[in-house]
Structure 1
Amino acid sequence: MADLLKSVEAKDNEKIPQLNPGDTVSVHVKIKEGERERIQEFKGLVIRLRNSGNNASVTVRRMASNGIGVERTFLLRSPRIDKIAVERRGKVRRAQLYYMRERTGKSARIKEKIYKLKICKVSEKSETFFYNCQTRGTIIMARI
C-alpha cells in the first residue's frame, strides 16, 4: 500500500522554502491566458498552513486597494507554482492567524523574527568559520 501511495505522490518543489505562519511571502504563479503563459506575483502574509502530503496548502492574505483583504490558497505541490520567496519571517504565537482578518492599519503589523548566528572557528590555523543558525539548523561555511 505504501508503494502505491509513493507512486501517486507528487514530487517536492525545490523552489519552495520552509514556510511558517506570520511570514511575508511572494508567490509566483503561472497564469495561462490563451496561448500565452505569464507569471503573476501574489505578495502577502501566510495566515494558514496545511501540511498533509499532496494536499499541502498555504493561505496567503494581502490588503488590496481601499483596504479590502484578498486571500488565496495555493497547493504547494502544484505545477502552477513557479517559486515562493520569503521576504520577512514573522514572530507569532498562533498556528492560524485568522484574527488578522479583522485588523487593519498598524494593528495588523507582525514583529519580525531575527535569527541569531552562532560563530565558531574550526581551528586556530585555519581561517574557516562555521555560522550555525540556531533555529533552522543550517550550517554555512565561510572563509575570512
Structure 2
Amino acid sequence: MSRLAPGAAPRSLLHPGFIGAGSTLLIAGLATDIMYWNTSNWQWANSSTWLIAAGLVLALFATIILIIDFLTSRAGRINWIPFLLVAAAALLSLVNVFVHSRDAWTSVVPQGISLSAIVTILLLMAAATGWKVTTVRTTATGDSL
C-alpha cells in the first residue's frame, strides 16, 4: 500500500456522495411503504413511488460521476462487493418503481415493501465502505494523480 508524500492531499472521489444521496431516498421509500402499510393512506404510496424514482435518478448521476472519476484518474480499482451491492440495489429499485406504479394496495403490499426492504439491506451493507465502490488512485511514490 502506498503512502502519500508529506504535504500531498489525497484526491477525493466524487461518486460516494451521489450514491449516499440516492441511497437515502431509496431507504426513505421503505419508510413510506411501512407508513402506507400501517395507515392505508394512498399518499404514502405516492411518496414511495416518487422517492424510488428520485433515488434512481441519483443512481444514474452516480454512475455518470463514477465514469468521470475513472476518466479523471481519481478512481483506482473497483471494490467488487460494494459495487455489486449498489448495482443490485439499483436494479431491484428499477423493478420496484414498476411495482409501485400499480394501483394503491397492490403497489406496496406485499411485493413493493419486500423489494424496498431488500434494497435497504443491500444499501446498508454497502454503506459500510462509505459508499465508495472504488479505491482512490495514487502513484507508487504516494503522490496523488
TM-score after normalising by structure 1: 0.26
Choose 1 or 2 for highest CA Rg: 1
Structure with the higher strand share, 1 or 2:
1
Structure with the higher helix share, 1 or 2:
2
